[in-house]
Structure 1
Amino acid sequence: MELATLSRKYGEFYAPAFSIRVGADDLIRDALVAISQVEADLVLGAASRFSFTVVDAYSIEKRAFYTGRGKNLLDLLTFGAQVDVYMGYGDARTMPRIVSGLITEITTNFPESGTPELSIAGYDNSFPLTNGKSSRTWTKSRDSDAVHEIASFHNLNAEVEDTKEQHTQIEQNNESDFEFLKKLADRNHFEIYVDEQRTLHFHKPKDKADAVVRLAWGEGLLSFKPEANLAGQVTRVEVRGWNPKTKETIVGKAQAGEESGLDGKSRSAGDRLKTFVKDSSKQPTLRLRQPVFTQAEANARAKAALNERAKQFLTGDADALGLPEIRPDRNVQLDNLGALFSKVYYIQQATHKVDGNGYRTRFKVKETAL
């Protein structure tokens, strides 16, 4: 989508706005609470975080924080309260939801001069998955079966891509549910996160999808700092395991050119290494020993390890106009950066912030090729 199209949709980006809803209450419209800034940090493979600052709510006479309706504010902003954060432009009632989660932090400061402010923060609805440790076993199951069961246990919707390999045994060993799911995601080269609709995502990266918006340096893209680094990159990966039935070693292989997200125009780090390390026997190889029991599983683990390493090749930090469309597991096209760096990038992390300076979106990208 072109920036001009979004500009018409958002009233030329003229009136940045936000809405914070705690249960059925809009803090600004219903509780008459003054909020100076709000921020949402969305990230793949971890719980996303939100925070906002309440001002002019402390009563010196009553020594407590109150809403504009005269109710104790901390009776509303309690630990575990459900919070929905919306950001955009114009009418707050029609803005897109950026993050939904639970309050986990309440902070204030009683200064020598001035009135106290109240800082509220929390995590998205994956937060319950990060608490506690569990040990359990699935027999004759696929990784996706375990993911479905955990999503159901936590009352989350699930967008889960079926994994093909059936394992004799899958073990969760003294890990939080999120740590365990992240481990399963990594070995399948999947992304794991919970979105603003309370949906647990477990699937391949959407790094071949169309870009949600085109930004050019000086036209919506305020700054961009890319870094391409061949250090630590490899041309192939080998994963070795053992087949207990045949008593033979299993070797899974993946090589440059099999990385995800390749568009046929760019070259991966492994492919570039081949140009100056021409002797195939001397090309850098990553060799791993992992508990794999079939050839298909070994090949899948090798490809996942290749992709994990390859996506460390090209990374970048960007600063742009506030755009709700910029979220992790989406793609953005960045232009006016020269022939080498003008391309489509995969978004790993996005931080949305509205304060006295307006609405900005900072985001991080990662790519396998340049």
Structure 2
Amino acid sequence: MTFVDLREVSADPGHAGFWAPWFRVSMEGKALPQSVVRDIVQVTYKDDVNNIDSVELTVSNWDPAAQRCPYIGSETLQELNAGKPADTRLVLFEPGPNLLRLELGYAGANRLMVTASVTSLEPSFPGGGPPSLVVRALNRLHWMRRKPFSQAFFKKTPGQIALSFNGLRDGSEPRLPMRIELTERLQGREPEIDFIAQDNQTDIDFLIGLAHRFDYELIIAERPAPSKRTEEYLLFGPSDTSTRPVDYRLTWGRTLVEFKPQLTTANQVSKVTVRGWDRRTKRRISVTVDLKDRKAGALNRDLHRLLQQADARTEQVVDEPVFTVAEARRRAEAILQDRLKQVVTATGTTVGLPNLRAGSRLEIGGVGARLGGTYFVTQTTHTLGDGGYTTRFTARREDMAATGGTG
């Protein structure tokens, strides 16, 4: 794995030594005028492997010269009915089909964070200060939550099911706002699922559930594109595959402003049994996997000693809609792997890094062998405001083998 050393990045003139944080907000492809940009007091971007990306703009909603609210709170009914307010800022952030694009970074080294649509406005008219406005927008994927659907899949792998969402619905409109692709590790290496159904679920919720069922992730990734600076796509596959173009090595006391890990053996199990029913043979299915299985217990193997000392619960029995022995084993392995990922979790803060996103992998050092190692980032919050640009992340330790974890 190739890591980026922040000391090298800070020496790069393109990053302005992390001293010149920069952002751009565009609406329908046009950058906001400087008069509006000056009113934006804070920009916050959040992404999460389990939720849709969001952006939040905090805007000063008071014009002292005109003694009025320029964005919301001063419009008249006549202006709204006519669709021509005297000040166009009054409808600038109005929820609707207009797309908002957020770019974050540093002078000369910025990146597109999200293309979103405004979904809510939250004005505040306090008693002891000027009015303000919070504009919230959600990634385009939230369009996939407009309507639930039902369909069944027979004799398909999880990857084949995911790729089927690249087609058209009813031969007309695309099912997804962006293409879905499989990680390289996943392609051609999955067993078939006998049967699984999308039962009155939205497409995005079904895909997220499908990913979790097999210990996969569904992540928005980017790559260079000839016609534009970046192209977004959905990446479906195991979380131990790096899904971002840049990974970082962060060390406490040097490049980590704050790091708060948690090592816990609570709710851990040494065995998982999945029970189901084979419809062809009319027999019960029962498959057990445990930490001794090389594949099932691959994650955080250097911490298994702690689980044994803590006397983890002997077995977890799960009744699942599985229809073959192979499917039951795969599901049991996924449950055990998911538990192992929760042995060490952490939150941390570093200098603003626009390429540090949910789905990235971090190498954490300077915190000892049990807490150091490879982490998978599940959530990030990028904030640019009066305090500068910082990135806060939530991650889980996912070492495939014992590591020294030193920095």
| TM-score over 0.5 for the pair | yes
2:9 aligned partner: 6
Instruction: Calculate the TM-score normalised by the size of structure 1.
Output: 0.86
Give the C-alpha shift of residue 33 in structure 1: 5.0
Q: What is the one-letter code of the residue matched to 1:362?
A: R
Question: In 2, Cα distance between the equivalents of 1:101 and 1:109?
Answer: 23
Q: Which residue in the other structure is 2:370 paired with?
A: 340
Note the C-alpha offset of 1:46.
1.2
Please state how far the C-alpha of 1:49 moved relative to its aligned partner.
Answer: 1.4
Structure 1 contact 58–116 (Cα < 8 Å) conserved: no
- CA-to-partner distance for each residue in 1:135-189, whole Å, 9 max, x for gaps? 2223443333332233441231212355733344331112222221122111111
Once the two structures are TM-superposed, the CA of residue 29 in structure 1 deviates from its matched residue by 4.7
Compute the RMSD of aligned alpha carbons. Answer: 2.8
The answer on whether the counterparts of 1:212 and 1:326 sit within 8 Å (CA) in structure 2 is yes
The residue identity in structure 2 corresponding to 1:206 is: D
| Pick aligned residue for 1:158 from 161, 166, 180 | 180
Instruction: Give matches, 1:131-146, under 5 Å.
Output: 131-146=146-161
Mapping 1:173-188, distance limit 5 Å? 173-188=199-214
- After TM superposition, give the deviation of residue 240 of structure 1 in Å: 1.4
Correspondence 1:279-290 to 2 at 5 A: 284-290=314-320
Who is 1:15 aligned against?
Answer: 20
Deviation at 1:363, TM superposition (A): 0.5
Q: Is the 8 A contact 1:33 1:57 kept in 2?
A: no
For structure 2, the residue ranges without an aligned partner over 5 or more in a row are 73-85, 168-174, 223-230, 403-407
Q: Residue 278 of structure 2 corresponds to which residue in structure 1?
A: 243
> Cα distance, 1:306 vs. partner?
0.8
Secondary structure of 1:95 counterpart: strand
Alignment CA distance shift 1:20-1:211 (3 Å) = closer
CA distance in 1, matches of 2:122, 2:68: 19
Task: Decide which moves more: 205-214 or 80-89.
Answer: 205-214
**Is 2:53–2:138's contact at 8 Å kept on the other side of the alignment?**
yes
User: What is the aligned-residue identity percentage?
Assistant: 25
Residue 234, structure 1, aligned to residue 269, structure 2: yes
**Correspondence 1:200 to 2:217:** no
The match for 2:120 is 105
For 1:211 and 1:76, how far apart are their aligned partners in 2? Answer: 35
- Equivalent position amino acid for 1:122 in 2: A
Q: CA deviation digits over 1:102-145, x for unaligned, max 9?
A: 21111212334544222111111221123332222234433333
Match of 1:85? 102
CA distance in 1, matches of 2:313, 2:135: 51
Contact persistence 2:70–2:87 (CA under 8 A): no
Number of aligned residues: 358
1:36 deviates by 0.6
Q: CA deviation at 1:18?
A: 1.3
Matched, 1:72 2:88: yes
From 39, 42, 47, the equivalent of 2:44 is: 39
Q: Residues 168, 40 of structure 1: CA spacing in aligned structure 2 closer, same or farther, 3 A cutoff?
A: same
- 2:37 and 2:367 map into 1 onto residues whose CA distance is 45
